[in-house]
């Protein structure tokens, strides 16, 4: 075997090894969320071991309310006069070998996000006893990233606090090994498009990093 061929094989094997390591690295990520107030509103930063992602909230005022029973993966914000929630949901493990999280195909992204939305709708129906009505889904590419924008209306049989809202709207995408969800309640049906625009504006600020950020620097 000549030296140039040996070098080519060595480089090829090293690339395969690096890809496998990178895939495992992303698969095993876990993220903590921090909110950073800034002059123009605030920033939500998700910090992993070797990856991070962030969202900018541009507003006159951004407050972090105390929410009883809030899960660790949830962040609630009062953005001017609106309530905005962000959450992260890990992708089911083990990640199939055919899914390279650093380079998902569009079909894999769509299948994953569709599965997530169906899971959420089942949770509302079976656990929260809320029957989502008139579910609408829309695929949108924002800054070269695929998002699933979806909403549902609260049915006529809604009880308790659900009767306060007309609908709930979400913008969902994949960040590393997580589904990132940005959502807000809609109080009147004629506010739906305005709420969607607000969530898209937040989603358009999403940035991902192949490193752990140092918040505030």
pTM of the model: 0.85
Residues of the chain with pLDDT under 50: 3-22, 158, 161
175 located within any domain:
yes
215 located within any domain:
no
214 located within any domain:
no
Number of domains in the chain: 1
Residue-number span of the structural domain to which 189 is assigned: 3-209
81 located within any domain:
yes
| Structure confidence at residue 93 (pLDDT) | 86
87 located within any domain:
yes
Count of alpha carbons within 13 angstroms of residue 150, beta-carbon side: 21
| Structure confidence at residue 68 (pLDDT) | 84
217 located within any domain:
no
What pLDDT digit, counting tens, does each position of 116-173 carry? 999 999 998 888 888 899 999 999 999 999 999 999 998 765 455 455 789 999 999 9
Contacts of 178 (CB under 8 A, 6+ apart): 29, 31, 46, 88, 89, 90, 91
146 located within any domain:
yes
216 located within any domain:
no
CATH number at residue 33: 3.40.1000.10
| Structure confidence at residue 14 (pLDDT) | 38
| Structure confidence at residue 214 (pLDDT) | 87
């Amino acid at each position: 075997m000549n030296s140039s061929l040996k070098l080519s094989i060595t480089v090829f094997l090293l690339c395969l090894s690096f890809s496998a390591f990178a895939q495992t690295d992303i698969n095993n990520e876990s993220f903590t969320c921090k909110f950073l107030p800034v002059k123009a509103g605030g920033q939500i930063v998700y910090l992993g071991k070797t990856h991070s992602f962030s969202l900018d909230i541009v507003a006159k005022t951004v407050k972090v309310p105390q929410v009883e029973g809030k899960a660790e993966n949830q962040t609630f914000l009062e953005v001017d006069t609106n309530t905005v929630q962000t959450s992260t949901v890990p992708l089911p493990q083990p990640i199939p070998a055919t899914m390279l999280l650093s380079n998902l195909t569009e079909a894999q992204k769509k299948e994953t996000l569709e599965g997530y939305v169906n899971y959420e709708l089942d949770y509302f129906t079976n656990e929260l006893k809320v029957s989502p009505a008139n579910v609408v889904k829309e695929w949108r590419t924002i800054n070269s990233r695929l998002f699933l924008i979806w909403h549902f209306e609260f049915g006529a049989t809604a009880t308790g606090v659900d009767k306060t809202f007309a609908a709930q709207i979400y913008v969902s995408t994949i960040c590393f090994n997580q589904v990132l969800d940005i959502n807000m309640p809609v109080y009147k049906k004629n506010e739906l498009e305005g709420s969607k625009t607000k969530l898209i504006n937040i989603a358009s600020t999403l940035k991902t990093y192949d490193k752990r950020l140092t918040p505030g620097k």
